[in-house]
């Protein structure tokens, strides 16, 4: 069965009886939405494309299959994964388990809204987060993790996912497969530093331009670099400066 992602507050904003509209209407307040404007540029560019796809459904949902999304939007699964994960983590997209209750609540609002007269019947008003508190972050659908063999053990899988989220945010190379070699090394690093330490190292990358490619070689840290015990220790200690050679 196709796994679906849902646009937050979709039902609340759908005031038209006719579905599948030919165009969408963006709220101007999106320009001042702190959460949305804090997303990576790729995520902000992808969002309207996903809203267009959501307008083809009656419930504001899209497939979570990376290959299907990549085909529809004429890009690659890696690019889709890079841009869509921040939208999920910030609550602009919800997985089915989190969205069902939301959709049921929105159905009442939609029924009330459709009883009103509207002069424009072919618009889709795209919801934004506004300044509402962000809900509990939904877990990434498994199909978006693109791991090898469906590894589900924690915290190895969690640490792998967290690396890719950080990579998407900081412009680092994504790791598509959790290979046996990577799994073994990651397990060893987690035994040394715990998941909290691993996450702290990922956070340290944000404040270290050298690791994000601002060096004379354009070199960027990747997963295999962080899996080296010496490298991870240096990242945790903040030892990489602008003049370091890596």
Higher pLDDT, 157 or 243: 157
Percent of the chain, pLDDT > 70?
67
Q: What percent of the chain has pLDDT over 90?
A: 23
State the virtual CA torsion across 205, 150, 134, 103 in degrees, nearest 10: 160
When pLDDT is cut at 50, 70 and 90, the band that residue 4 belongs to is confident
| DSSP character string of 20-48 | S-S--EE-GGGGG-HHHHTS-HHHHHHHH
What is the DSSP secondary structure assignment for residue 212, as one 8-state letter?
Answer: B
Q: What distances in angstroms separate CA 40 from CA 2, 62, 109, 122, 190, one per listed residue?
A: 27, 21, 32, 30, 28
Buried b (16+ CB within 10 A) or exposed e, 167-198: bbbbebebbeebeeebbebbeebbeebeeebb
pLDDT at 31: 83
Q: Which two tokens stand for residue 2?
A: 């196709």
For residue 94, give the 3-state DSSP assignment.
strand
Q: Write out pLDDT tens, residues 141-192.
A: 443 433 334 433 447 888 898 898 888 888 899 998 989 999 999 999 999 9
209 has a pLDDT exceeding 50: yes
Summarize pLDDT for 57-66 with one digit per residue, the tens: 877 888 888 8
pLDDT digits (tens, 9 = 90+) for 109-130: 334 444 444 443 444 455 554 4
Phi-psi map region of 20: left, alpha, beta (phi>0 left; psi -120 to 50 alpha): left
Give per-residue pLDDT as tens, 214-223. 988 999 999 9
Supply the angle between the helices 41-54 and 77-89 in degrees, to the nearest 10. Answer: 90
Decide: helix, strand or coil at residue 157: helix
For helices 180-206 and 156-170, the axis angle rounded to 10 degrees is 50
- pLDDT, averaged across the chain: 74
What is the model's pLDDT at position 21? Answer: 61
| Predicted pLDDT of residue 212 | 92
Most confident of 42-51, 56-65, 88-97: 42-51
pLDDT at 71 over 90: no
Query: Cβ neighbours of residue 7 under 8 Å, at least 6 residues apart?
Result: 50, 51, 54, 60, 61, 62, 92, 93, 94, 126, 127
Q: Is the pLDDT of residue 103 over 60?
A: no
pTM of the full structure = 0.43
What count of Cα atoms within 13 Å lies in the side-chain half-sphere of residue 201? 31
Average pLDDT over every residue of 132-143: 40
**Is residue 68 predicted with pLDDT exceeding 60?**
yes
Q: Indicate the pLDDT class of residue 231, thresholds 50, 70 and 90.
A: very high
- Which pair of tokens denotes residue 147? 């791991």
| DSSP alpha helix (H) spans, 65-155 | 66-73, 77-89, 96-114
Question: What is the arithmetic mean of pLDDT over 85-97?
Answer: 80
With vertex at residue 100, the alpha carbon angle to CA 169 and CA 62, rounded to the nearest 5 degrees, is 55
Six-digit token pair at 221? 């840290």
C-alpha angle 75-81-82 in degrees, rounded to nearest 5 = 95
> What pLDDT was estimated at residue 117?
40
- Specify the pLDDT at position 96: 57
């Amino acid at each position: 069965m196709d796994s679906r992602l849902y646009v937050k507050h979709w039902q609340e904003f759908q005031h038209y009886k006719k579905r599948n509209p030919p165009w969408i209407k963006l709220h101007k307040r999106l320009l001042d939405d702190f959460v949305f404007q804090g997303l990576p540029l790729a995520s902000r560019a992808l969002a309207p494309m996903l809203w267009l796809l959501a307008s083809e459904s009656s419930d504001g949902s899209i497939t979570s299959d990376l290959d299907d999304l990549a085909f529809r939007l004429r890009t690659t699964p890696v690019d889709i994964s890079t841009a869509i994960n921040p939208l999920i983590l910030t609550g602009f997209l919800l997985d089915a388990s989190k969205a069902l209750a939301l959709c049921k609540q929105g159905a009442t609002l939609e029924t009330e809204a459709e009883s009103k007269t509207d002069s424009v019947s072919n618009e889709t008003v795209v919801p934004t987060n506004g300044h509402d508190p962000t809900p509990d972050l939904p877990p990434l659908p498994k199909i978006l993790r693109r791991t090898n063999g469906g590894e589900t053990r924690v915290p190895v899988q969690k640490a792998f996912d967290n690396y890719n989220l950080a990579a998407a945010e900081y412009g680092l190379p994504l790791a598509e497969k959790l290979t046996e070699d990577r799994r073994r090394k990651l397990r060893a690093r987690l035994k040394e530093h715990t998941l909290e330490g691993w996450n702290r190292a990922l956070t340290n990358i944000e404040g270290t331009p050298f690791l994000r490619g601002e060096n004379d070689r354009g070199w960027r840290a990747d997963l295999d670099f962080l899996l080296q015990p010496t490298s991870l220790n240096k990242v945790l200690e903040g030892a990489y400066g602008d003049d370091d050679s890596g």
